[in-house]
């Protein structure tokens, strides 16, 4: 789960990281009032969960409250990479003499948090990594020791930060680490961390991603989830305990297991289904019971592009009879004539096939293998 910039900076501030004292507005009037109360030139910043806001015209300077009103009315409601802007952050404008990148993420290759910094702030770290990898300085953090002062100093020295700022930099890096750990974050970054013309260090922009698996114990963060920023079907899927990603094709896929779900999508493309393509990635997860399967089918069928549905269930912890009951249950609730190809294998698959056969549904075809299922689903989607 990603946090908005304003949510990230509020959280940073609560850990003592210096940030601008801006506020969020949802209307141009609010934007004007906030600008007036700040009493200085401001930046109006679109709050969307995607990058490239500046290029898209989602970040504008405003010299006075009237201009803030004007810019906010333009930015609110605009679409940035399919994300509609519902909120703008009104921050005091700052003068920048230097931009730095500072971030913490999980390095899966060593199983440790990794502190990274670069003297090239303000651009995406992936871009720096690709173009100028030596510009990134790294320190791996032992989880039982936490981030030590010397490690933060190594980084400060490595990116040629003037010595007078080392003390503040160490404090900011350590605060960022505490924030990362205590938020169960998978990413916490300040980009850019700036030195102003007044020679003050502070976080101009920030980004945090929270580990979805840890939200059960981070209730305050779970409440920050901006459902309006996500597709409705993905929200419904999450509530039903499913992983669903909308894609552009026409074959709805319901599969158990992420690897097999990806493979099923790959097979649709491999067997020439480029024209129809997978409509979604959907993993019903391990041990799905009838109710979850029914919810999954309702979500797939709510996509108007879906011309056929392919079920590929290879039971291990998931049981074929449970899946079959879920399919029948969902079809009783949401009758449809959309053709369905069902491939059941593994645990209790014979029981499952008996349930499907017993229901005697005209639009269901069975498939024996993954390849057979993909080919039949492509034919079905083309109306063959």
- Number of residues forming the site for other proteins (CB under 8 A): 57
Give min distance, CB of 188 to other proteins, in A. Answer: 12
Q: Does 239 bind other proteins (CB under 8 A)?
A: no
Q: Residue holding tokens 């960022």?
A: 176
Piece in contact with other proteins (CB under 8 A), picked from 9-17, 33-41, 61-69, 249-257:
249-257
Q: What DSSP assignment string belongs to 25-89?
A: ESSHHHHHHHHHHHTS-EEEEE--SSS-TTTTT-EEEESSHHHHHHHHHHHTT-EETTEE---EE
Q: Which listed range, 114-122, 171-179, 262-270, 359-367, lies at the site for other proteins (CB under 8 A)?
A: 262-270
Crossing angle of the two packed helices 28-38 and 65-75, in degrees rounded to 10:
150
Beta strand residue intervals within 10-130, DSSP E: 23-25, 42-46, 59-62, 79-80, 83-84, 88-92, 96-107, 112-118
352 binds other proteins (CB under 8 A): no
SS3 (DSSP) at 241 = coil
Catalytic hit among 101, 177, 180, 244: 101
Binding test (CB under 8 A) with other proteins, winner from 21, 29, 63, 112? 112
* Phi, psi for 356 (deg, rounded to 5): -65, -45
Candidates 54-62, 95-103, 190-198, 366-374 — which segment interacts with other proteins by CB under 8 A?
366-374
CA gap 375, 160 in Å, rounded: 59
Binding to other proteins by residue 173, rule CB under 8 A?
A: no
Tally Cβ neighbours within 10 Å of residue 180: 24
Q: If binding is defined by CB under 8 A, does position 33 make contact with other proteins?
A: no
- The nearer residue to other proteins, 190 or 268, going by C-beta atoms, is 268
Strand 59-62 versus strand 308-315 pairing type: unpaired
Residue 346 touches other proteins, criterion: CB under 8 A:
yes
C-alpha to C-alpha distance for 66 and 31, rounded to whole angstroms: 9
Name the one range near other proteins by CB under 8 A: 22-30, 72-80, 90-98, 250-258.
250-258
**Residue closer to other proteins, measured from CB, 164 or 274:** 274
Burial annotation 32-58 (CB, 10 A radius, 16+ → b, else e): bbbbeebeeebbbbbbbbeeebeebeb
Residue 81 is a binding residue for other proteins (CB under 8 A): no
- 101 assigned to active site: yes
The reply on whether position 55 binds other proteins by CB under 8 A is no
154 near other proteins, judged by CB under 8 A: no
Catalytic residue of the set 177, 189, 244, 322: 189
Cis peptide before 165, with omega less than 30 degrees from 0? Answer: no
Instruction: Quote the DSSP letter at residue 144.
Output: T
Instruction: Decide if 239 is catalytic.
Output: no
Which residue lies nearer to other proteins by CB, 232 or 317?
Answer: 317
Residue from 269, 298, 301, 379 in contact with other proteins (CB under 8 A): 269
Phi/psi of residue 107, each to 5°? -95, 100
Put residue 348 in one of left, alpha, beta given phi > 0 → left and psi -120 to 50 → alpha. Answer: left
Q: Identify the residue among 10, 64, 106, 119 touching other proteins (CB under 8 A).
A: 106
- Only segment of 37-45, 59-67, 257-265, 332-340 that touches other proteins (CB under 8 A): 257-265
Q: Among the candidate windows 74-82, 164-172, 209-217, 356-364, which touches other proteins by CB under 8 A?
A: 209-217
The rounded distance, in Å, linking the Cα atoms of 309 and 329 is 16
Q: Pick the closer one to other proteins by CB: 143 or 383.
A: 143
**218-223: long-range contacts, CB 8 A cutoff, minimum separation 24:** 218/183, 218/184, 221/1, 221/3, 221/183, 221/184, 222/1
Between 135 and 359, name the residue whose CB sits nearer to other proteins. Answer: 135
Residue 236 touching other proteins (CB under 8 A): no
Of 75 and 347, CB closest to other proteins = 347
Active site residues per annotation: 101, 189
Task: Give the footprint of other proteins on this chain (CB under 8 A).
Answer: 106, 108-109, 111-113, 124-126, 129-130, 142-144, 181, 184, 186, 211, 213-214, 216-217, 243, 245, 247, 255-263, 265-270, 278, 281, 283, 285-287, 314-318, 345-347, 369-371
């Amino acid at each position: 789960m990603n946090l908005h910039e304003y949510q990230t900076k509020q959280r940073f501030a609560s850990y003592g990281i210096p940030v601008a004292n801006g506020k969020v507005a949802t209307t141009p009037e609010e934007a004007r009032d906030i600008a007036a109360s700040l009493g200085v030139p401001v930046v109006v910043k679109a709050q969307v969960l995607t990058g490239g806001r500046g290029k898209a015209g989602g970040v504008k300077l405003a010299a006075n409250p009237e201009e803030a009103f004007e810019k906010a009315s333009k930015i609110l409601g605009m679409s940035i990479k399919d994300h509609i802007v519902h909120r703008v952050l009104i921050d005091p404008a700052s003068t920048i003499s230097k931009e730095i990148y500072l971030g913490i993420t999980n390095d899966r290759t060593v199983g440790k948090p990794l502190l990274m910094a670069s003297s090239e702030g303000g651009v995406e770290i992936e871009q720096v990594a690709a173009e100028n990898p030596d510009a990134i300085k790294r320190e791996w953090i032992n989880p039982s020791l936490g981030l030590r002062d010397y490690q933060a100093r190594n980084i400060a020295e490595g990116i040629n930060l003037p010595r007078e700022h080392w003390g503040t930099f160490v404090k900011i890096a350590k605060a960022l680490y505490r924030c990362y750990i205590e938020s169960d974050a998978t990413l916490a970054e300040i980009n850019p961390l700036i030195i102003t013309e007044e020679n003050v260090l502070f976080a101009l922009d920030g980004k945090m991603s929270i580990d979805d698996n840890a939200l059960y114990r981070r209730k305050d963060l779970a409440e920050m989830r901006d459902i309006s920023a996500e597709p409705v079907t993905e929200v419904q899927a999450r509530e039903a305990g499913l992983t669903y990603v909308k894609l552009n094709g026409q074959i709805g896929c319901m599969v158990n297991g992420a690897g097999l779900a990806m493979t099923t999508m790959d097979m649709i493309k491999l067997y020439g289904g480029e024209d129809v393509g997978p409509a979604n990635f959907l993993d019903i997860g391990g041990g799905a019971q009838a109710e979850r399967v029914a919810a999954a089918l309702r979500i797939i069928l709510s996509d108007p592009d879906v011309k056929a549905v392919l079920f590929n269930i290879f039971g291990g912890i998931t049981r074929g009879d449970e899946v079959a009951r879920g399919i029948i249950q969902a079809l009783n609730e949401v009758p449809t004539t959309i053709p369905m190809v069902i491939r059941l294998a593994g645990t209790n698959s014979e029981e499952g096939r008996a349930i499907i056969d017993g229901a005697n549904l005209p639009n269901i075809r069975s498939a024996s293998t993954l390849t057979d299922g993909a080919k039949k689903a492509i034919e079905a989607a083309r109306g063959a």
